């Protein structure tokens, strides 16, 4: 039997898979006690290094490889908008809000995002509303994170691993280590994935420079000759208008990225507040550094395949690899793509399973079972969620892409609730009814502007739909809150005292 080039790709992907399964199921992932708070999150808490890489890998999705290269191919330096969120999210959201979520999570042993919100606003159907609302946002994200890498794997093996086979391989791997070890397995595998994808993307950039047989200036000149609009805003397709530039990085990504359920699970699993704050101050270096080489790769792919457009731009880098890279090198990059997608897919699966188990099953269906039973149910939800994700990934990709945009708008509408709990002010502004009304109104506004905005809104106010959602959400929430029952003063005082102790220590001492 002769060894074909795609065999090398398969061998490297198998090596990657073995490493991930070993890391995700090893003895270091085993919990001391069978408890929900030590399965869906990590009760003793992770220290800086592990959680840093866990968050870093978890925040970069399949968009990192190969999506970011496709973005450069299609919109050029408009991609620089991503620099804004890779810095804004850590320094603004993780440092300021994430550390407060850590504080409350450790103090009151929250497991899900809804735990924190209902502790402040009051329990009941509100818990199920938050859980199901959030869950419905996350399935499209999970689908996106399995679709891109599966295409990369299928393309990287010349179709010898079919697309459905690639989806199944990723799905089965995630099921094995998430059901085995919960968030411990997720985080340890993400540590390896974060390192692998970082090395892969930088190696790919140097390979691309070598491929064009020149340096950065040679690449710049080639792009200037072929499509100079790629070098300036708003890009060849006119995407990066001032309105888009000023709202998309913040409202379309930065504000919601940190309050995704997976973010909550990581923040709850920090050893202490200082750990989350340190991660907030430094993880931006990793997030940004992963996107810097994407320019070289995206532009190189453009010089080889300028004819690709639309969703075809996303396949420019996989095609470059398939046609020009040595097989072993393509294998490393393909595994890097799997790492980028799986590092978010597993974290989302664990978080969504936690919400279904704690906020729906344990709160409404079976309230008196043991933690061992709940963990077993949670494992069942992991299988169910991955199955749905794989199934959805076989459907129309255009619909998934639209849903990802809707996801951003939906999660962003939770921001007033999260801020109300984590950032005490001199009075209580929001009530449970107000928050609920605000979320519904904000979601409606963001959907309307997403669907009809391009036709109805004048170009000068054609801002990101998530921004318009908040513009409607906040006043509605404030108005309804004025006429509805306030949260329990004892709960508000308890949560405020915990935050005062940590973030407003007595300076007169």
Partner 1 sequence: MTEPKVKSHLMPQTLWEKLYLAWFFFCFLAVYIGTWAVNKPIPVLGMPLVFVWCSSWGIVWLCGCWFLGTKIAREDAQIKGE
Binding site for partner 1 (CB under 8 A): 76-77, 80, 83-84, 86-88, 90-92, 95, 215-221, 224, 228, 231-233, 242, 245-246, 274, 277-278, 280-282, 284-285, 288, 292, 295, 423-427, 496, 499-500, 503-507, 509
Q: Nearest Cα to 62, choosing from 126, 165, 149?
A: 149
Nearer to partner 1, 232 or 394 (CB): 232
CB 65 within 8 A of CB 151: no
Least distance CB 172 / partner 1 (angstroms): 38
Least distance CB 241 / partner 1 (angstroms): 11
- Environment class of residue 89 by beta-carbon count within 10 Å: exposed (0-12), middle (13-18) or buried (19+)? buried
CA distance 295 to 290: 10
Nearer to partner 1, 281 or 456 (CB): 281
φ/ψ of 85, rounded to 5, equals: -75, -30
Least distance CB 399 / partner 1 (angstroms): 32
Nearer to partner 1, 26 or 236 (CB): 236
**Token pair for residue 386?**
């991955």
481: helix, coil or strand? helix
CA distance 343 to 339: 6
Nearer to partner 1, 56 or 342 (CB): 56
φ/ψ of 270, rounded to 5, equals: -80, 145
- Cα angle, residue 249 at apex, residues 349 and 393 outer, rounded to 5°: 35
Least distance CB 228 / partner 1 (angstroms): 5
Nearer to partner 1, 225 or 455 (CB): 225
**Token pair for residue 22?**
């070993």
Least distance CB 469 / partner 1 (angstroms): 21
Least distance CB 285 / partner 1 (angstroms): 6
CA distances in angstroms from 298 to 76, 80, 265, 319, 426, listed in the order given: 8, 13, 33, 12, 49
CA atoms in the 13 A half-sphere facing the CB of 211? 22
Least distance CB 242 / partner 1 (angstroms): 7
Least distance CB 90 / partner 1 (angstroms): 8
Nearer to partner 1, 88 or 177 (CB): 88
207: helix, coil or strand? helix
Q: Nearest Cα to 121, choosing from 331, 436, 361?
A: 436
Nearer to partner 1, 18 or 425 (CB): 425
Least distance CB 342 / partner 1 (angstroms): 27
Nearer to partner 1, 397 or 429 (CB): 429
Q: Would you put residue 43 in left (φ > 0), alpha (ψ -120 to 50) or beta?
A: alpha
Nearer to partner 1, 203 or 246 (CB): 246
């Amino acid at each position: 039997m002769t060894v074909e080039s795609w065999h090398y790709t398969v061998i490297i992907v198998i090596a990657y898979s073995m490493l991930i399964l070993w890391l995700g199921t090893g003895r270091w992932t085993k919990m001391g006690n069978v408890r929900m708070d030590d399965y869906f999150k990590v009760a003793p808490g992770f220290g800086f290094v592990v959680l840093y890489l866990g968050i870093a890998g978890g925040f970069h999705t399949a968009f990192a490889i190969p999506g970011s290269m496709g973005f450069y191919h299609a919109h050029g330096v408009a991609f620089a908008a991503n620099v804004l969120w890779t810095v804004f999210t850590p320094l603004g959201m993780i440092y300021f809000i994430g550390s407060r979520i850590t504080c409350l999570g450790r103090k009151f042993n929250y497991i899900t995002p809804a735990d924190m919100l209902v502790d402040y606003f009051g329990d009941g159907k509100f818990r199920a509303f938050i859980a199901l609302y959030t869950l419905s946002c996350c399935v499209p994200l999970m689908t996106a994170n399995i679709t891109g890498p599966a295409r990369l794997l299928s393309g990287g093996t010349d179709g010898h691993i079919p697309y459905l086979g690639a989806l199944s391989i990723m799905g089965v791997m995630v099921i094995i280590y998430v059901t085995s070890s919960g968030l411990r397995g997720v985080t340890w595998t993400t540590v390896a994935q974060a390192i692998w994808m970082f090395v892969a993307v930088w190696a790919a950039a140097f390979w691309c420079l070598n491929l064009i047989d020149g340096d950065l200036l040679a690449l710049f000149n080639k792009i200037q000759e072929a499509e100079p609009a790629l070098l300036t805003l708003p890009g060849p397709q006119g995407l990066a208008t001032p309105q888009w530039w000023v709202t998309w990085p913040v409202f379309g990504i930065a504000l919601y990225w940190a309050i995704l359920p997976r973010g909550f699970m990581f923040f709850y699993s920090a050893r202490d507040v200082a750990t989350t704050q340190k991660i907030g101050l430094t993880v931006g270096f990793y997030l940004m550094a992963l996107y810097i080489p994407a320019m070289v790769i995206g532009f190189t792919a453009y010089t080889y395949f300028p004819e690709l457009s639309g969703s075809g731009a996303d396949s420019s880098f996989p095609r470059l690899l398939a046609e020009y890279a040595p097989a072993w090198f393509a294998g490393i990059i393909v595994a890097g793509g799997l790492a980028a997608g799986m590092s978010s897919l597993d974290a989302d699966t664990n978080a969504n399973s936690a919400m279904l188990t704690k906020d729906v099953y344990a709160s409404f269906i079976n309230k008196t079972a043991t933690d061992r039973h709940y963990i077993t149910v949670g494992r069942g939800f992991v299988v169910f969620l991955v199955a749905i994700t794989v199934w959805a990934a076989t459907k129309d990709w255009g619909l998934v892409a639209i849903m990802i945009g809707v996801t951003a708008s939906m999660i962003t509408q939770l921001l007033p609730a999260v801020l109300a709990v984590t950032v005490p002010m001199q009075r209580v502004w929001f009530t449970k009814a107000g928050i609920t009304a605000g979320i519904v109104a904000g979601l409606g506004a963001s959907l309307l502007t997403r669907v009809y905005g391009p036709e109805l809104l004048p170009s000068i106010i054609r801002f990101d739909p998530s921004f318009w959602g908040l513009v409607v959400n906040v006043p509605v929430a404030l108005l309804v809150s004025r006429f509805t029952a306030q949260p329990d003063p004892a709960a508000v005082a308890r949560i405020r005292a915990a935050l005062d102790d940590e973030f407003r220590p007595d300076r007169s001492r």
